[in-house]
Amino acid sequence: MKSIFVQIASYRDPELIPTIKDLIEKASKPENLKICIAHQYAEEDEWDRLDQFADDGRFTVIQIPYQESQGTCWARNEIQRHYNGEDYTLHLDSHHRFCKDWDTECIDIITNLQKEGFKKPLLTSYCPSYSLPDGKKIDDIVYGMRVNIWKDGVALFHPYAMEKTAAPVPSRFYSGHFAFTLGQFCKEVPHDPLMYFYGEEISISVRAYTHGYDLFAPHKQLVWHEYTREGRSKHWDDHSRWFDRDNASKARTRQLLGVNGEVCSPCNKNTFKEYGLGEARTLEEYEVYAGIKFKDQTITHRCKKNLPPPGIPGDSIYYEAKDYQIKLNKYDFLYDDIAFATVVMEDDAGMVVHQDTITSDEIKTLKQSDLPYVAVTRSITGANPLRYLIWPYSQSHGWGDKVVSYF
């Protein structure tokens, strides 16, 4: 019989026990589950006791006082150290509900994908939601994942409603709260314990793909997720210096993926070891497949429109307009007959990326203001300016002094 290594990282979560019970009750073959829990607990949380599972041989519980926890990815890594050759693995949070026979459903999907020629399929996406306190399944939408924003160079995702299909859909991104695949994934693509929270999903997306895994979003509801986190303490609530770990995690992600041109030193393998990229495919191949460019934090139109991958080399880039504020100082506009000013934006290489005009109306607003300066906004696309140059023109004195400021 096929075994499943179930990974649950729980942090002071009152939904942990209801999740475990539903996981077991809804499985068609609960005897084949091997459930490993990173139980990050507080003594004062009376409801957070796993004594009822102490004599159940299916369970491995790693007891971690919450003060000793080092974050989500660290806890997931602790779990994966207990993988013992199970056929499949299910990666979860600790607040879920499940469809009937979820285990058979997931295995069947993976098996069918393998029959189609995908040697290492990975089923992953954001799940529909359920409500508290009754656990009612409130969402019957099938979701994919899309790039929402770049935060400090790290791509973050939001769900989007997919059209209904008869089979799983090729996907770009890995979900931190639901993934089902071959058990060997725990050895081949283990969680990096130095990651904190942001960076987990995009780094594993790329690592999985470069290790030869093919990502798919499920075409049916298999698992539900609770998104609000109401009544639950989060790691960053209890750890005052959490942002140090978060900043280090985002820096590590940028280095792994070459965001903003950052590179590993001395090289990827030595820096990241077992937490680096694979050799079955390259980072560049992932960028083409997903339609994402890490160096300049852009995506293709195909990716923006949530069209299924793969992309093709040369896909057009989608540039989202960004607003930049330009500060106009009265001391730079001393003459009464200044008709306009040229503003030039440059990138860090000194290349001009945008040129515009400060109008006479904007100059008039500046002179009438009670403040020594006013800010005007310019919206540009496809560039990341570092600084701007303002060059006013007076009808009686000609071009004035150039003033350089930084965004």
With a cut of 50, which residues of the chain have pLDDT below it? none
- Residue whose token pair is 């009544």: 231
The alpha carbon dihedral of 140, 144, 145, 147 has a sign of: negative
pLDDT reported for residue 148: 86
Q: Which fold has domain 322-406?
A: Immunoglobulin-like (2.60.40)
Query: CB within 8 A of 92, min separation 6: which ones?
Result: 6, 7, 8, 19, 177, 178, 223
pLDDT reported for residue 168: 97
Q: Which CATH superfamily is domain 1-319 in?
A: Spore Coat Polysaccharide Biosynthesis Protein SpsA; Chain A (3.90.550.10)
SS3 content of the chain, % helix, strand, coil (to 5): 30, 30, 40
Give the residues across from 61 on adjacent strands: 37
pLDDT reported for residue 317: 82
pLDDT reported for residue 260: 77
Q: Are 107 and 101 in contact (CB under 8 A)?
A: no
CATH 3.90.550.10 location in the chain: 1-319
How far, in Å, CA of 268 to CA of 256, rounded? 7
Predicted model pTM:
0.80
pLDDT reported for residue 381: 67
CATH 2.60.40 location in the chain: 322-406
DSSP structural state of residue 67: G
